[in-house]
A and B are shown apart, each in its own frame.
Chain A
Amino acid sequence: MEIRNLYEKPISIAPLITFRVIFGAMMAFSAIRFMALGWIEDHFIRPKFHFKYFGFFWVEVLPDFYLYAIHILMIISALGVMLGAFYRLSAVLLFLTFTYTELLDLTYYLNHYYFVSIVCGLLIFLPANRCFSVDVLLKPQIYSEFVPAWTINILKFQLGIVYFYAGIAKINEDWLFHALPLKIWLPANDQLFLIGNLLKYEATAYFFSWTGMLYDCTIVFFLIYPKTRFLAYLAVIFFHVITGLMFQIGVFPLVMIGSTLIFFSEKWHWRWIDFLCRKINFSLLKDSKKQKNFVLKPIVLFFLGVHIIFQILFPFRHLFYDGNLFWTEEGYRFSWRVMLMEKAGTATFYVKDSKTGREGEVVNADFLNPHQEKQMAMQPDMILQFAHFLADHYAKKGIYKPEVRAEIYVTLNAKPSRLLVDPSIDLSKIEDTFEQKMWILK
């Protein structure tokens, strides 16, 4: 097999259409759900302080009206992607609105939001509207039944990365040999329909740990290989339904169950597209003339290469830092480490007036909602941001050159809690960088 085939070979557009329709529908659903749950209010409007992403400190929370407008726009553009209507514009808007919303507050970071953001970005460049779309009705000349192979393979690659990296992250002592954190999480779900009682057994936690690791590491290969594909997909459904029932993980199971359909054959995809066409009386143009090889512009190839290399290497950046990754979380995010550890902290901040020497305890809940407080209390970069915020806030309130220190006790995977950062250090003097954070206690 020539390597060019992986990106230039003409292949059927069908899987890409399915992906576009399902992904667009899910995005619309998830944005509607987000609004309906009142999360715009809870996540963005009510909190007095927002944690920023490194390098994105300039992203501001807009006034309420704009936040709602952006969500409506997100829903419209998601439907635009689904229908293939003004596709490029829709995809750009979907990417921008979704990514903006994610960048508003670091404490809501989820790996699957990162995944969705990447996919939205990729969709901008994929010719997913060239068939079975409103755009084709408007401009029939764009119709094509073939697309260059990279446009589908890049999505398979992205899914592969998610699963595979989630799998290798599970290869660690706690996960495999102590069944942690599943030993904590499973018994907490003993009220679950049918399987609840099983979850009380320690052996079940070990079994789930190993199966989960093997599943994540191998499922993509079983999905690629045609003979195992169907069973593998059943496993995908089974796995995500179970985790979806047990854990509070929102729409993520749906996203994965929907997205992995891209591994199915063109025949399978045409079957349901044709079925849908008959149902809604939509006629595809259908020209089956043989498509010659696509030739990719070097610039496209270049950016594709950069993206792929970045996706492969970036999750390994933690190797540059000393210490236990789960404890320091330096290089933890954007690396597909999902549901890997049970970690929680109690963070008490003290602010001192450097003139009077008077020190007072902060009530975190005065500034943060419970979710923000929970996330902040165990993640060093957020602790630092909050300390800086407190210093600024209380300087304005008249405290002279405030010194901020924090007593933070963190428990990781059911081990007794210990101090996360040096409680004597003035956190307001420390800047967050990519360098090793020496103020995190080992």
Chain B
Amino acid sequence: MKTTFFRLFLGFFIINAFFSCQKNNDAGKADFDRKAMLENFANNLIIPAYTDLQGKISVLQAATNQFTQNPDQNKLLVLQNAWEETYVAWQFANAYNFGVAAEEGLKNSLINEIGTFPVNETKINANIANNNTNLTDPNRDARGFLAAEYLIFDQKNNQNTILNNFSDAKRKSYLLALVNHLKSKTDEIILAWNGYKSSFVANAGTDVGSSTSQFYNEFVKSYESIKNYKVALPLGKSLGQTQALPNRVEAFYSGKSLKMINEHLTAIENIWYGKAKNGQEGIGFKKYLESVEGGNALILSTQSQFLAVKNAFAKIPQNVSLSQQITESPKNIENFYVELQKLNRFLKSDLSSLLGIAITYSSGDGD
């Protein structure tokens, strides 16, 4: 008995030793370099997204300065274009609210700080009236990209209304404050990432708090924000709603909601593929899936569902704003929502289960 037992455990060590010497033999080995994936995310997706955003915000800042010094029709158009480009850049940067972009750095996550929608018109107008440009209070729905949007766009697209409003000096200084705030938060995050990058890449496990787990969680949240808040809620598909809420769409005032959803979806797809915005291929969740049990089946399902989502989106007329379509003919949007819903599980439980990523802190069942 004793010897059987002893042999069993001796056997364990021998086999271990055997495999240690076989390191270069790749047969039957789930060889995936999570560090390389994290490096790709950091170098080719996250940091470039923030840097691009920073550049766009600088342009926006210049346009804002020009415009507020002497508002006219042309400068307003330049300003509006600069905002649109900035907000597109943000769609590629809005999924990374962990580490220095969450509790570690900013007191609140970056997306809450500068990406909150819908904005609160009353609060914004009150701030303007009181000349309150101190943007550090908890009223995050009175600042960020979409507060700026509220000031520089008119929902009925009447440029004169906007220009008239900007005869108010307090409105000008509020807009300047908003844009400066965007700039300073983005500068802050880029600076912080310089220091954070190495620890992000080094923390290469799959436990809760590991970079992969944090990154994955925010990736899912970002995707669900499209489905739940950019589509379902305005469409009236959220629970407790008795009607659609077309004015709850993202980018309501500019009417650019559909464009932003499309860009956001591309950003989500890029993350899944590990692809940079400029098209450069890299290691992402797809490569990771290729290395695990059941991964290839999930890759196929995810890819075909990404395609279905895109096809459903393509059927939505782009020349009519999302809020108008929701009011007038929501059929296409509803179909789009159904396809988004189907994609959910492929990005959520199926993905984390196959990759063995831990998502909660609570203890699991002991062995």
Contacts and interface: CB of A to CB of B under 8 A. Distances in A.
Contacts of A266: none
A247 B207 CA distance: 8
Interface in B201-245: 204-208, 228, 232, 236-242
B358 interface: yes
B332 interface: no
Contacts of B367: 166, 212, 239-240, 243, 247, 249, 252, 338-339
Interface string A252-265: 11011000000000
Interface string A169-211: 0000000000010011101111100010110111110010001
Interface string A69-102: 0000000000000000000000000000000000
Q: How large is the interface on B (under 10, 10 to 19, 20 to 34, 35 or more residues)?
A: 35 or more
A383 interface: no
Interface stretch (A16-24, A120-128, A228-236, A305-313): A228-236
Highest count of chain B CB atoms <10 Å: which of A43, A211, A416: A416
Contacts of A409: 345, 349-350
Given A188-B357, A203-B28, A346 B237 contact: no
B355 interface: yes
B362 interface: yes
A297 interface: no
Interface in B338-367: 341, 344-345, 348-350, 352-367
Contacts of B31: 200
B196 interface: no
Nearest to A235: B9
Interface residues of A, number: 82
B215 to A, nearest CB: 15
Contacts of A429: none
B293 A414 contact: yes
Interface in B296-325: 297-298, 301
B1 A225 contact: yes
A399 B363 contact: no
Contact of B238 (A361, A374, A377, A399): A361
A370 interface: yes
Contact of B29 (A110, A188, A200, A222): A200
Interface in A385-424: 394, 397, 399, 407, 409-411, 414-417
Given A180-B293, A184-B354, A339-B367, A202 B301 contact: no
Contact of B5 (A110, A191, A195, A228): A228
Given A112-B366, A231-B9, A369-B360, 5 more contacts: A187-B30, A227-B1, A231-B6, A358-B241, A409-B350
30 contacts: A43-B362, A111-B366, A166-B367, A187-B30, A189-B205, A189-B206, A191-B205, A197-B20, A200-B29, A200-B30, A203-B28, A204-B19, A211-B12, A228-B5, A239-B367, A243-B367, A247-B366, A248-B208, A248-B358, A248-B361, A255-B366, A338-B365, A351-B239, A358-B242, A363-B238, A374-B360, A411-B354, A414-B293, A415-B294, A416-B298
Interface of A: 37, 39, 42-43, 108, 110-112, 166, 180, 183-185, 187-191, 195, 197-198, 200-204, 207, 211-212, 214, 222, 225, 227-228, 231-232, 235, 238-240, 243, 247-253, 255-256, 338-339, 342-346, 348, 350-351, 356, 358, 360-363, 369-371, 374, 377, 394, 397, 399, 407, 409-411, 414-417
